[in-house]
C-alpha cells in the first residue's frame, strides 16, 4: 500500500513518523475521511473545505493549495488502484520535543492512505439499536480533531450494550450527535437535526442530506431537540461518510415508532445513491 507522507508516496513500512510527532502525545492535529465510490472521490471539495476550517480553528499552518493536496490525493487513489473505500487523511502540528505550547518553525506532518469501507447494507435495511449517553466531550466538536477519546469511549459503551451507536446529549433538552455520526429525527414529516455549531461536527453527509431533502421536497430544519423528542420521534436516523444513512429502530430499551425503518429514511437512502455523481455541495 502507498501512503502519502507529506509530499512523497512511500510504502506503508517505510512511512516513518517521529515518536514526538504531536499527533502522538497531544492528538494535536485534524483529519478527514473521504469516501471513494467507483474509483472517484465523493464530495472531495467539501471535505477539503472542512479540513481548511479545522486547520484554521486549530491554528495549524498548512496550506493545502500550496501542497496541491487535491492532486496528490488523486494520485494516491491511482497509485493504489483503489476503487471503493475511503481515504484517511491527517495533518498534525508536526514533530517537536514534548511541550504544550505550539512549537516554532515546525512543519506539520501529513499522512493519507486508503482504508477499507464496507457498505453497512444490513444496518441500512433493518435499522440499528443505539444507546443514549451523556456527551462528556469538549466544547469544540466543530473541529475534526484527532482527540477522539470521548468518541471512542462512547462508541465502546454502545457496543458493550449490544448497540451500534451512542447518541449523545448534553442535558435532557439537548441531544447533540452520535459518537461518529450526525443524528436526525422526523416528526409529522419534518426532519430536524442539530444546528452546525461548536456542539457537533458539521458532517459532509449531513450537508448532503440537506441537498437530498431539497431534491425530494422534504422539510428539514436545524434545531436543537430534546431526549423526549428523540424518543417520541416518528423516525430517527444517523449519517456519516462511512454509514451513509442508517435508520435507528431502538433507543436503549425503547422502540422507535413500530421498530422498523421509516419511509423518509428509506427515501433518503434511495436518493443517496442516485445523486452520488454530484461534485460539490458548498
Which residues are at the interface with ligand PMP (CB under 6 A)? 33, 151, 177, 180-182, 201, 203-206, 239-241
Is the CB of 89 or the CB of 204 nearer to ligand PMP?
204
Specify whether 276 is catalytic: no
Shortest Cβ 200–ligand PMP spacing (Å): 6
Displacement of CA 110 from its chain's centroid (Å):
19
| Nearest residue to the partner ligand PMP, using Cβ | 203
Is the CB of 96 or the CB of 179 nearer to ligand PMP?
179
For the chain, the DSSP string reads: -EEEETTEEEEGGG----TTBHHHHH--EEEEEEEEETTEESSHHHHHHHHHHHHHHHT----TTTTTHHHHHHHHHHHTT--SEEEEEEEES-B-SS-SSPPSS---EEEEEEE-----HHHHHH-EEEEEEE--S-S-TTS-BS--HHHHHHHHHHHHTT-SEEEEEEETTEEEEESSSEEEEEETTEEEE--SSTTS---HHHHHHHHHHHHTT-EEEE----HHHHHT-SEEEEEETTTEEEEEEEETTEESTTSS--HHHHHHHHHHHHTTT-----
Shortest Cβ 239–ligand PMP spacing (Å): 6
Shortest Cβ 85–ligand PMP spacing (Å): 14
Give whole-number Cα distances, 243 to 107, 176, 178, in Å: 34, 18, 12
Is the CB of 80 or the CB of 241 nearer to ligand PMP?
241
Q: Which of 144, 155, 164, 192 is catalytic?
A: 144
Is the CB of 109 or the CB of 193 nearer to ligand PMP?
193
Is the CB of 203 or the CB of 262 nearer to ligand PMP?
203
CB–CB of 90/23 below 8 Å?
Answer: yes
Shortest Cβ 205–ligand PMP spacing (Å): 3
Is the CB of 92 or the CB of 182 nearer to ligand PMP?
182
What amino acid positions are annotated as catalytic residues? 144
Amino acid at each position: 500500500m502507498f501512503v502519502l507522507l507529506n509530499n512523497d508516496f512511500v510504502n506503508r513500512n517505510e512511512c516513518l513518523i517521529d515518536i514526538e510527532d504531536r499527533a502522538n502525545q497531544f492528538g494535536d492535529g485534524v483529519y478527514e475521511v473521504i469516501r471513494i465510490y467507483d474509483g472517484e472521490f465523493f464530495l472531495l471539495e467539501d471535505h477539503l473545505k472542512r479540513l481548511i476550517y479545522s486547520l484554521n480553528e486549530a491554528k495549524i499552518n498548512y496550506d493545502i493549495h500550496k501542497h496541491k493536496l487535491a492532486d496528490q490525493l488523486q494520485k494516491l487513489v491511482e497509485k493504489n488502484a483503489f476503487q471503493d473505500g475511503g481515504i484517511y487523511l491527517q495533518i498534525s502540528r508536526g514533530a517537536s520535543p514534548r511541550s504544550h505550547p505550539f512549537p516554532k518553525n515546525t512543519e506539520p506532518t501529513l499522512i493519507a492512505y486508503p482504508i477499507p469501507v464496507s457498505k453497512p447494507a444490513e444496518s441500512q435495511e433493518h435499522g440499528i439499536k443505539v444507546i443514549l449517553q451523556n456527551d462528556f466531550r469538549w466544547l469544540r466538536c466543530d473541529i475534526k480533531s484527532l482527540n477522539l477519546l470521548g468518541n471512542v469511549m462512547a462508541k465502546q459503551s454502545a457496543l458493550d450494550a449490544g448497540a451500534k451507536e451512542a447518541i449523545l446529549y448534553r442535558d435532557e433538552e439537548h441531544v447533540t450527535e452520535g459518537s461518529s455520526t450526525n443524528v436526525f429525527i422526523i416528526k409529522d414529516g419534518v426532519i430536524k437535526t442539530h444546528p452546525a455549531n461548536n456542539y457537533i461536527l458539521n458532517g459532509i453527509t449531513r450537508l448532503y442530506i440537506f441537498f437530498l431533502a431539497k431534491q425530494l421536497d422534504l422539510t428539514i430544519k436545524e434545531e436543537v431537540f430534546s431526549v423526549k423528542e428523540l424518543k417520541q420521534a416518528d423516525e430517527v436516523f444517523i449519517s456519516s461518510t462511512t454509514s451513509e444513512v442508517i435508520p435507528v429502530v431502538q433507543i436503549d430499551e425503547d422502540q422507535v415508532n413500530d421498530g422498523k425503518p421509516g419511509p423518509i429514511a428509506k427515501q433518503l437512502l434511495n436518493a443517496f445513491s442516485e445523486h452520488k455523481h454530484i461534485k460539490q455541495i458548498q
